[in-house]
């Protein structure tokens, strides 16, 4: 006896392919349920609370809109869909424009969407996030220092350190964008 295994045109039944069963909400939930990553907050609550405290302290001297732009850009660079979803959602709730949210990944080609101060912060975010490429160039650091006083610059660096850490937490523990689930 044979069964009909016809797959609708433009879809695939193979796991991991676009249009496959795991692309549906039920498929995502099933895939997530089959994986076994730890819940970092539950497994290391003191460390998790310390990260929250560090993140909160870093934000204190900075404009909330700038905070979200920095977190979005670092999350782009780190390919962290979970954090990118979270911070674009937060930015929208805070009134950030769709144009700026779309352009932040390409801010160098769309400078007119961002202030000089924001551009300096975005350049520093890229340099710190991609630090393995040889450190933060002196000109990038000097440009940021020209737009932020010493306290603000320290907080900006702290925020960049924090979002890079959060990206690594989310990626390492398999957090799934738009959910509280883990892979």
Assigned domain for 147 exists: yes
Assigned domain for 35 exists: no
Assigned domain for 131 exists: yes
**Spatial contact of 95 and 109, defined as CB atoms under 8 Å apart:** no
What does the pLDDT read at residue 24? Answer: 61
* Most distant CA pair in the chain, distance: 76
Looking up residue 85, the CATH number of its domain turns out to be 1.20.1290.10
Assigned domain for 26 exists: no
- For residue 158, the SS3 value is helix
- Exposure pattern of 30-50 as b/e (b: 16+ CB <10 Å)? ebbeeeeeeebeeeeeeeeee
Per the DSSP assignment, residues forming a β-bridge with 50 are none
- For residue 182, the SS3 value is strand
Report d(CA 141, CA 127) in Å as an integer.
9
**Spatial contact of 74 and 167, defined as CB atoms under 8 Å apart:** yes
Enclosing domain of residue 140 = 48-172
Assigned domain for 89 exists: yes
Assigned domain for 41 exists: no
Tens-place pLDDT, residues 50-99:
999 999 999 999 999 999 999 999 999 999 999 999 999 999 999 999 99
Query: Which sign does the torsion angle of CA 170, 175, 181, 183 carry?
Result: negative
Rg, C-alpha atoms of the chain = 20
Report d(CA 167, CA 77) in Å as an integer.
10
Name all contacts of 147-151 with Cβ < 8 Å and 24+ positions apart. Answer: 147/116, 147/117, 147/120, 147/121, 148/117, 148/120, 148/121, 151/61
Tens of pLDDT along the chain (183 residues) come to 444 444 334 444 444 555 655 566 566 555 555 567 899 999 999 999 999 999 999 999 999 999 999 999 999 999 999 999 999 999 999 999 999 999 999 999 999 999 999 999 999 999 999 999 889 999 999 999 999 999 999 999 999 999 999 999 999 999 889 886 655
CA distances from 23 to 12, 89, 116, 151, 163 (A): 10, 21, 40, 45, 28
Assigned domain for 87 exists: yes
Assigned domain for 143 exists: yes
What does the pLDDT read at residue 4? Answer: 42
What does the pLDDT read at residue 133? Answer: 81
Structural domain count of the chain: 1
């Amino acid at each position: 006896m044979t069964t009909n295994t016809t797959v609708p045109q433009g879809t695939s039944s193979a796991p991991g392919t676009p249009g496959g069963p795991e692309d549906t909400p039920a498929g995502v939930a099933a895939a997530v349920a089959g994986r076994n990553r730890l819940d970092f907050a539950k497994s290391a609550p003191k460390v998790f609370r310390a990260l929250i405290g560090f993140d909160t302290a870093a934000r204190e001297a900075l404009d909330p809109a700038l905070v979200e732009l920095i977190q979005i850009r670092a999350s782009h660079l780190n390919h962290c869909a979970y954090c990118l979803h979270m911070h674009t959602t937060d930015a929208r709730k805070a009134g950030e424009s769709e144009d700026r949210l779309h352009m932040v990944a390409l801010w160098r080609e769309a400078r007119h969407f961002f202030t000089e101060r924001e551009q300096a912060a975005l350049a520093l975010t890229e340099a710190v996030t991609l630090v393995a490429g040889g450190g933060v160039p002196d000109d990038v650091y000097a440009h940021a220092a020209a737009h932020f006083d010493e306290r603000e610059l320290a907080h900006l660096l702290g925020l960049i350190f924090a979002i890079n850490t959060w990206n690594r937490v989310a990626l390492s523990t398999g957090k799934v964008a738009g959910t509280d689930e883990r892979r």
